[in-house]
Amino acid sequence: NIAKDRLVIVVSHNELLANKYASRIIKLEQGNIIDDITLSSFDDNKTITNIDKDDDIDIDHIKDTRLPLSISIKLGLNSFKKNIVRLIFAMFTTFLSIGVFMCGMTLISYNEENVLINQANSDGFTYLLFNNNSSIVRYKKSDVSKANEIFENKIIIRTIYLFEDAYYWNLNEIYPPDIVSCSKNTFEDLGFDYIGDFPKNDNEIAISIEALYNFCRLGDIPFSPDDNMEQYLMHNITFGKEKFVISSIFKSNEFSYNHENEKYKYGLSNSLVLTSNKYEELLKKHYEDYSITTGIAYLDMYASDIFVLTNQNNLYAKANYFYDYLLPNAKHPLFAFDTIYQPSLISIKNFIDNYGLYFSILGSIFLVAALISLTAFIFGVIKKDQYTIRILKSLGINSFDVDLIYCISTTLVGIVSFLIATIINIVVNNAFNYYLVLQFLLAINPIAFSYLIAGLMLIGLLLITIITCLISIKYLSVSKK
């Protein structure tokens, strides 16, 4: 009806409907007329009164229609297929740079405390010796109280008790046992294999198997060739002219190592565990004469060593806090705990210092260059496809779907690059760990893959690709206008 007295121009990509209803078809491509056809089969005098039911279009329905996700992905990938060489180059530089950067960040995030605790726990070593500063000869009673407060009552104190018959032990080439004091909860948390009960009375004692055998060698306890430890329970022993009843026998986890051709033992293998009252009583009795000649009270010589249980959080932070208490404003030791792993930890730290920073700096430079390359690639692809974008919009695809098409394709590129970079990081990580474990005879991998760093890298990469994609589409759309 409208076409009776005026010209109607319809812009469409539907050539079937154009051939059916139009009298003249002008074809345009990228702004140029490529064909102009007057349909000879069309009768100028014919009046079209009805539109075929199959050709009727619901405009409102078109506006509400969303492009299926599968088609969005297909359209997005098609745009990258046209730039396959640049795609490969952008992905190669991206995953290589991210891989190097992640390796560097993983090395820098190396946590000595976690390595030490995990290594000790893997060997069944549930306690560590606090690294005593050389200027502190003995811990005072107040120091021990502070250590209990800081380490949540999970400490063991030890003193080398030079009792009167120590000379006799030394003549038999037997090292006298150490005197140890701890709470019942701490003793049970140590995870020792033990029989009997923890000492409750001052005349009761818990003895390690090694110390028990030493008493047997001296003849104080009849030796039995079998492994029945229960026969020694409730047996009396004499120590420093005092008699004790064996209430418990335990097997301590300890380590031996050679240092400058001398064999040292870390741990409580040759130990006697007393109640805190008896520990202090023996200590006081031992230092009475010493105090008279030196003027140093026994309370100032309360413990020679402090062991800390590993089943607590933030051991290094607590150790540093204890150092601040012992020696305010003094430089802390390099290692908070004195262990047999120390040579290995020093070597690993040197390795990290030498290579971690190098990988991080190199990775950072590569990463910046790769991100610039990736953003330039995304911008170039979208710029090249700006005519396609206009066609999609003219076909009724809304701006959101257009943005989604290219965002999906760019994020897929980012995800694939990230996955390849992660594989590179894992391979390099395993190579580092293999070298360190083999070189320093460790039981665990010291350099752990950081899921936090990987997750942050993935989030950052996706944000960069999506933001670059959206900005490129909007910029090209505005600049063209």
Residue 305 contacts residue 211 (beta carbons within 8 Å): no
Kindly give the confidence (pLDDT) of every residue in the chain, 481 residues in length, as a single tens digit, with 9 standing for 90 and above: 777 788 889 888 888 888 888 888 999 887 789 999 887 655 555 566 667 777 666 655 555 556 777 777 777 777 667 667 777 777 777 887 877 777 777 777 777 777 888 777 777 788 888 887 666 668 888 999 999 999 999 999 998 765 556 666 666 777 788 889 999 999 998 888 889 999 999 999 999 988 888 888 777 676 665 567 788 888 888 877 788 999 999 988 766 555 554 545 567 888 899 999 998 888 877 776 655 555 566 667 788 889 999 888 888 889 889 988 988 877 777 778 877 777 777 777 777 777 777 777 887 887 788 888 888 888 887 887 777 777 777 777 778 888 888 888 788 888 888 888 888 878 887 887 787 777 766 666 777 777 777 888 888 888 888 888 888 888 776 555 4
Q: What is the pLDDT of residue 268?
A: 85
| DSSP β-bridge partners for residue 205 | 246
Q: What is the pLDDT of residue 65?
A: 58
Element (H, E) at 399: helix 399-440
Q: Which has the closest alpha carbon to 259: 363, 146, 338, 170?
A: 338
Q: Which amino acid is at 394?
A: S
| DSSP β-bridge partners for residue 245 | 204, 236
Measured distance CA(160)–CA(166) in Å, rounded: 11
Structure tokens at 350: 């040197």
Q: What is the pLDDT of residue 396?
A: 72
DSSP state of 251: E
| DSSP β-bridge partners for residue 248 | 196, 206
Measured distance CA(172)–CA(108) in Å, rounded: 51
Q: What is the pLDDT of residue 170?
A: 67
Exposed, middle or buried, 415 (CB in 10 Å: 0-12/13-18/19+)? middle
Measured distance CA(402)–CA(387) in Å, rounded: 12
